[in-house]
Structure 1
Amino acid sequence: MMFKPEQWLFAFKLYIAIMLAFTISAHVGLPQTSWAIVTCCVVMNPMSGAVRSKAVYRLVGTLCGGMVSLVLASLFSNTPVLMIVFVGLVGAIAFGCSLLDRTPRSYGFQLFGLTLMLVAVPNIENPAAMFNTTTFRLCEIGLGIICCTVVDSIIAPRSLRPSVQFKLQGWLADMEKWIDDAFEGHITDNKATHDRLKVLADISALSALAGQLRYDPLVTRRERQLIFSIQLRLLRLVPLLSAISARIADAEPDIRSKLTASLKKAAAHAKKREPAGEVLLTQITQTAHNMDSMSDWRHLVQEDMAELIKVTLHTWSEIRQFEHSLNKALPLPSILEKEVRSARSSTLYPDTYIATKIFLGSLLAYSLLCGLWYATGWQLAPASILVGVAALAFFGGSDEAGRVISFFGIFTIIALFAASILSYGLLPFAKDYPMLLIVMAIFILPLGAWATKNPMAILLLALAFSCINFQNIYQPYEFGTFLEIFLAILFGIFVAFCCLGLVRTTMGAKHTMERLIRQGREEVLSLTYHATLRDRDDFLNRSLDKIGSLASRLEQTGHIDNSPRLLNRLRAGASIAELRHASAQLNEETRRALEDLFITIRQEINHEEPSDTLLAKIDKTLSTAWKHDLRSA
């Protein structure tokens, strides 16, 4: 296997951090050197921002988990059973919360739950030892974090900025092509629409990097806020362009031919990065009024399209100004500067369904393993408990969680074989410090380089160092003890796999896709009963987030032909919210027509295509609104 220079560079940085942490830990006499080494394995990353963000969340999660374990020990030191119950309950809640937060902060919740169980469960009958365990763990983890941060800061720190800017350029090019297609009336096929949804998914995924960008030492606060300002406006363009495309595509040929000149001017404005002028908007609207054959609701559609084009060109102009300011470090107009200062990444909405399943699965696995521990007195049960709940917390939320946990089990077997080679084959040759450096380099460098291609290699390293008695004076476990640790870990993973099957009876991309689509329909249904403009904006944001999540799953399940339907539902939901919000200001006749329309929508919410009855009621409602000159409705 050939590795590139940058991969060897990462492996070298990881090796230096591990050996520095080991040397300091052994020199000052800390009792669990492996904790510092494992911290280096987990925290080190090719990107400096990722190193710092993970370091912060690991330290905070460890500190909070240790403190809560001490609080529980003070409350239940005389009642071990209650202590076990509350540790499991609080830990499972933490693991569930980690699935509610889709940013790097989730790692803090995971470390909180793991630290709580690591400190409390093994010391359940000796609560006095929990303080020392917490203190030493904080020292070891803090040491590993410091070593990683120092090494990354000195040896070739890498910023996310070039990567993000490269992606931004690609997104802007894709969006510019979409604007051209929309204004020219091109009807895209399902594949092209799906490709655009994948771009949308990529734009939404930028929010997951918000934490890393915040801690990236080479990205300034203003640069970060400019990036998020561009992201938010790119997402706003999606429903606008989808609506413009639909209105042009649905127009009769004679209407489209009359609008051609105006739309070409709009496309020219977009290329020049200029907002729409009143002359252009008046021209589009006037085209509708000059055509006597056009129906009332067609007049409404044309007026609405003029407003959509105005907002689209204004938003696109702002995006280009942000891009220019980001690339050239130039100031913006005062109004935009004010918006940039308050910019945040787009919201990644929690998946409460998966979070609940992981909470239940973690609690079930913890309960079963604790019950086995109580029944048999198995000394290595705490290790089995820790690995079992960790498998669910880290891998149980994916679409193919059962397959991922199985893969984790396979990698664990590989890791334990690697640990046996290190423990019984390599480390016995390390009679002095220089030889130790050579032995560790032989073991760490290839795996570190491999980790840049396969993140599971980091897990392999972390598990290998966790399973050997790696201290100042190396004393390998008896081989029987090592095998028992090996079996305890595998048994914990097996129990996690079984518990996952009990709480998540159906898994896979298809199931997730169907669930998200069903949730979207339920949200549209709720908008027919009550909606404000804030509800409309929340619906749009949630829907864009869902579309981003659905894009890859549509391809996996072979349903890319459903891509246009997702954008149609997005527009429909936003329109329903606006109509419901405006209904209170309507006259009695129009309000009755609108309520009748809402009733039909509720009845057909699960239909793939609108019925003739629904279309007729839409026409009736529009005609009623037009008759009373309620064009804003």
Structure 2
Amino acid sequence: MLLIKPILAFRPSRMDLIFAVKTFIAMLLALFIAFSLDLTYPMWAAGTVIIVAHPYAGMVSSKAVYRLLGTFIGGIVAIVLTPQFIDLPIFFTLVLAGWVGVCLYISLLDRTPRSYVFMLAGYTTVMVVCSSINSISTHSVFDMALGRILEISVAVLCSAVVSSTLFPVHLGSLLQKRVQKTLDDTRQVFRRILTDPEHSSSYTQLLAGITRDTSDIHALAVHLNYERSALQGMTKSLQELLHQVSMTVANLVAMSERIAQLDQIDTRYRQVLPLLHEHVLQFLQSQQHVHAEQLKQLPDTFEQDFAALSDQATAEQQIALNALKMDIRHFMENVVTIKCLWDLIQRGDKRIPEQIVTLTTSYPSLHRDHGVAVRSAVAASIATIISFLLWIYSGWHAGYMMAQLTAVSVCILSGLDNPVPALRLFVRGSVYAAFITMFYAFVIMPEVHEFWQLAFVLAPLSLYLLSMFPNPPLMGLALPMLINFIMSLNLQNRYSTDAVLLMDTAMAGVVGPIISILAIYFIRAMSPETSANRILALHYKAMREALFIPYGVQFRIHLRSMLDRIGVLNTKLVQSEHIKRAMNLALIETSAVINLSRLAEFLQNPKLSTTLQQALLTLQQSLEQAFLAQEKQQILPEALKQQVFTDLKLVEQSLKDESNAEICTRVSMNINNIRSSIFHEHPPVKAGHAAEKGA
């Protein structure tokens, strides 16, 4: 009953109605062609149009391509497997369940829109096999697979043509606005960090939003290749821009940490910060059309401003000030790189200048959770096995539909931490659809004898439910209602219905998702807190790995994956204050991970003295042990923490005998950053400074 009020209060907008009418036209067109070709299950053509429906033309076209490819793979696998194992039902069930599980596992690891191909390949095989067995006396598995491919082909072509020709809405304009907003947010955070003494309480949420947005836009950019918009074909360039934006997030957090550290010692240096901010901002605003040769340029006043800062700072602040200087320099270089890429994108130029070290890889450097993927695959396999065994041993005629819908429902929402609530809503929609279907079957459909009559009677309910699709809270109920309604009617070109079969099919549409709910609940479902803890464990594993990756392109790719993981982490709606704090600290720790990589770089430097090299190696080993402990339990044992601090002091003592001043400065900065940003150890506030702040 929770959605009754929103549904009653729902008033579709003009864009909602345009989307509904376009999708309904595509559905009717697909249904008409399926009738004309006398396909076995025309309902799948209509149902596929509903499944791939989306307000943006590029997303419809890309989903159409991925769905067609997935269906083709699933059909081929069904053709190969069915003749071999049809006489061994139990073994065949295990093979199909394993195939669904493997496909879902790969799909969840991919984390790009193309993952749809793998998921679809899994449950399409089950659908073709089930339909073939159900019609074994009249159709071969090849006929079923071919029919399925034809039904999907008709549906996706109709969807793509209608979506791109009738009032098309392109994703490019939306992404342009979202990218610009992200760049504006970055500028706003930079201003707060340098000019607002209380910035630490106001910028964290904004940075978390930036990390979420970059992850979202990265996935959406794939669809640009499938639409005619201002950003068509700019997927790779836009994704590279987003990688560079992620680097600026690390710069901003590092800057904030250094300024917080400086503030704890003395605040006189802040007199110069507004002038530094103004000069940096003027420089960045002047870089409107950046050429590749200008990427490493700095403001003419940069060294002068930091000399003024150094004059105002105390001796204790000099190391943190040097680190701040490096962070701001890297920030400006990254922002200029982003401006260069954005300018090229806006002008329709796909090339990425050679001077830009690209972070885009053939296999995207995104966060992947193998544990969740494995548990989802196991749940999908077990749900598939249970549904097939019920079908085999019950002899239920509509059992084939139950098995099909089990395979579909156990896969489609597997990306959520806990798909059970959404699947319960799916079941509720299926129940509502069953009652509506029976009303249509007994009252309306007996009077339908022509296609125009069918279109007329389907229009009211279809248009009403389709207009809810652009509204995520309502789509969760509208989609299963419409899909189950269309599937349960089992529309044929003879315009007749079998009441018993219809009720059986409607019941199968409810039982299938219930099996999925039970399997997911006991095997896969997890709370946001559990999911966040898993991601935090992977975060500390990545921190440990960074110890052995010297700074370079490979490290920047590794850092990009860590920042993407932070973006995913910030989508978790956790209630625990302890976990919330750990999530905030993870972003700060990620900003300083470059200092771990520098240790590996220092250890390969032949100019280091043996004493310093041995001290750094000891520190590297104690850091590895600390991150390994946090990976297992998130809480660092006090003994390990003290060991790290002891080894940090040992490195500092070794620096006293080091003759190379440049190495001493660089190592000192890294030790300072590791202590303050990774282990969150800050110097105590001096009494005079505390009194000054109190005043």
Give the TM-score taking structure 2 as reference length. 0.82
1:601 aligned residue (612, 623, 628): 623
2:353 matched to which residue of 1?
335
2:677 matched to which residue of 1?
none
Q: Which runs of 5+ in 2 are unaligned?
A: 1-9, 289-295, 668-695
2:58 aligned residue (49, 55, 59): 49
1-structure distance, mates of 2:430, 2:283: 58
1:468 matched to which residue of 2?
489
Amino acid at match of 2:322: E
> How much has 1:627 moved relative to structure 2?
4.2
Amino acid at match of 1:491: V
2:327 matched to which residue of 1?
308
**Residues 20 and 152 (structure 1 numbering): CA distance in 2 closer, same or farther, change over 3 Å?**
same
Counterpart secondary structure, 1:249: helix
The answer as to whether partners of 1:207 and 1:348 remain within 8 angstroms in 2 is: no
1:500 matched to which residue of 2?
520
1:253 matched to which residue of 2?
266
1-structure distance, mates of 2:166, 2:422: 34
1:269 matched to which residue of 2?
283
The answer as to whether partners of 1:63 and 1:138 remain within 8 angstroms in 2 is: yes
The answer as to whether partners of 1:535 and 1:577 remain within 8 angstroms in 2 is: no
1:31 matched to which residue of 2?
40
1:94 aligned residue (93, 103, 108): 103
2:610 matched to which residue of 1?
588
**Residues 154 and 468 (structure 1 numbering): CA distance in 2 closer, same or farther, change over 3 Å?**
same
Q: Deviations over 1:541-582 (max 9, x none)?
A: 222111111213256656654454122210343321221343
2-structure distance, mates of 1:132, 1:528: 57
**Residues 333 and 357 (structure 1 numbering): CA distance in 2 closer, same or farther, change over 3 Å?**
closer
2-structure distance, mates of 1:222, 1:31: 38
**Residues 17 and 367 (structure 1 numbering): CA distance in 2 closer, same or farther, change over 3 Å?**
same
| 1:383 corresponds to 2:413 | no
The answer as to whether partners of 1:281 and 1:307 remain within 8 angstroms in 2 is: no
| 1:548 corresponds to 2:567 | yes
Greater CA deviation, 601-610 or 311-320? 601-610
2-structure distance, mates of 1:613, 1:84: 55
1:357 matched to which residue of 2?
375
Counterpart secondary structure, 1:3: coil
Amino acid at match of 1:462: I
1-structure distance, mates of 2:511, 2:183: 50
Q: Deviations over 1:407-450 (max 9, x none)?
A: 22112112222322333333233233332232121221111112
1:537 matched to which residue of 2?
556
| 1:172 corresponds to 2:183 | yes
Amino acid at match of 1:543: M
2:686 matched to which residue of 1?
none
1:212 matched to which residue of 2?
223
2:690 matched to which residue of 1?
none
1-structure distance, mates of 2:573, 2:65: 36
The answer as to whether partners of 2:225 and 2:232 remain within 8 angstroms in 1 is: yes
1-structure distance, mates of 2:26, 2:359: 37
Amino acid at match of 2:229: L
Counterpart secondary structure, 1:123: helix
1:183 aligned residue (176, 180, 194): 194
> How much has 1:289 moved relative to structure 2?
7.2
**Residues 343 and 64 (structure 1 numbering): CA distance in 2 closer, same or farther, change over 3 Å?**
closer
The answer as to whether partners of 2:410 and 2:516 remain within 8 angstroms in 1 is: yes
| 1:618 corresponds to 2:648 | yes
The answer as to whether partners of 2:448 and 2:495 remain within 8 angstroms in 1 is: no
The answer as to whether partners of 1:231 and 1:346 remain within 8 angstroms in 2 is: no
1-structure distance, mates of 2:356, 2:645: 44
Amino acid at match of 2:323: D
Amino acid at match of 1:123: S
| Pairs within 5 Å for 1:99-498 | 99-124=108-133, 126=136, 129-184=140-195, 186-190=197-201, 192-221=203-232, 223-251=234-262, 252-253=265-266, 256-257=269-270, 260=273, 261-273=275-287, 277=298, 279-283=300-304, 286=307, 294-295=315-316, 299-327=318-346, 329=347, 335=353, 347-453=365-471, 454-456=474-476, 457-478=478-499, 480-498=500-518
Amino acid at match of 2:160: T
**Residues 483 and 321 (structure 1 numbering): CA distance in 2 closer, same or farther, change over 3 Å?**
same
| Equivalent residue pairs, number | 628
The answer as to whether partners of 1:204 and 1:346 remain within 8 angstroms in 2 is: no
Counterpart secondary structure, 1:397: coil
> How much has 1:331 moved relative to structure 2?
6.5
> How much has 1:535 moved relative to structure 2?
5.3
Greater CA deviation, 461-470 or 380-389? 380-389
Amino acid at match of 2:205: H
The percent of aligned pairs where both chains have the same amino acid is: 20
1-structure distance, mates of 2:650, 2:311: 23
> How large is the RMSD of aligned CA atoms in angstroms?
3.2
> How much has 1:306 moved relative to structure 2?
2.2
Counterpart secondary structure, 1:431: coil
1:521 matched to which residue of 2?
540
2-structure distance, mates of 1:569, 1:340: 24
1-structure distance, mates of 2:212, 2:279: 30
2-structure distance, mates of 1:244, 1:35: 55
> How much has 1:377 moved relative to structure 2?
2.8
1-structure distance, mates of 2:237, 2:550: 31
The answer as to whether partners of 1:65 and 1:112 remain within 8 angstroms in 2 is: yes
**Residues 32 and 198 (structure 1 numbering): CA distance in 2 closer, same or farther, change over 3 Å?**
same
1-structure distance, mates of 2:121, 2:355: 38
Amino acid at match of 2:339: R
Greater CA deviation, 606-615 or 373-382? 606-615
> How much has 1:531 moved relative to structure 2?
5.7
> How much has 1:218 moved relative to structure 2?
2.1
2:598 matched to which residue of 1?
578
> How much has 1:332 moved relative to structure 2?
10
2:687 matched to which residue of 1?
none
Amino acid at match of 2:279: K
Amino acid at match of 1:45: H
The answer as to whether partners of 1:98 and 1:107 remain within 8 angstroms in 2 is: yes
Greater CA deviation, 577-586 or 6-15? 577-586
> How much has 1:9 moved relative to structure 2?
0.8
The answer as to whether partners of 2:341 and 2:352 remain within 8 angstroms in 1 is: no
Q: Deviations over 1:274-295 (max 9, x none)?
A: 8653754433664687689625
> How much has 1:206 moved relative to structure 2?
0.8
The answer as to whether partners of 2:70 and 2:120 remain within 8 angstroms in 1 is: yes
**Residues 412 and 509 (structure 1 numbering): CA distance in 2 closer, same or farther, change over 3 Å?**
same
Counterpart secondary structure, 2:572: helix
> How much has 1:370 moved relative to structure 2?
2.4
The answer as to whether partners of 1:185 and 1:245 remain within 8 angstroms in 2 is: no
The answer as to whether partners of 1:276 and 1:310 remain within 8 angstroms in 2 is: no
Greater CA deviation, 279-288 or 104-113? 279-288
| 1:22 corresponds to 2:41 | no
Amino acid at match of 1:269: F
2-structure distance, mates of 1:446, 1:432: 23
2-structure distance, mates of 1:342, 1:580: 24
The answer as to whether partners of 2:126 and 2:407 remain within 8 angstroms in 1 is: no
Amino acid at match of 2:418: E
**Residues 148 and 184 (structure 1 numbering): CA distance in 2 closer, same or farther, change over 3 Å?**
same
| 1:6 corresponds to 2:19 | no
Give the TM-score taking structure 1 as reference length. 0.90
Amino acid at match of 1:444: S
1-structure distance, mates of 2:310, 2:650: 20
The answer as to whether partners of 1:14 and 1:40 remain within 8 angstroms in 2 is: yes
Amino acid at match of 1:199: I
Q: Deviations over 1:349-376 (max 9, x none)?
A: 3221221011101111122222333333
1-structure distance, mates of 2:261, 2:116: 48
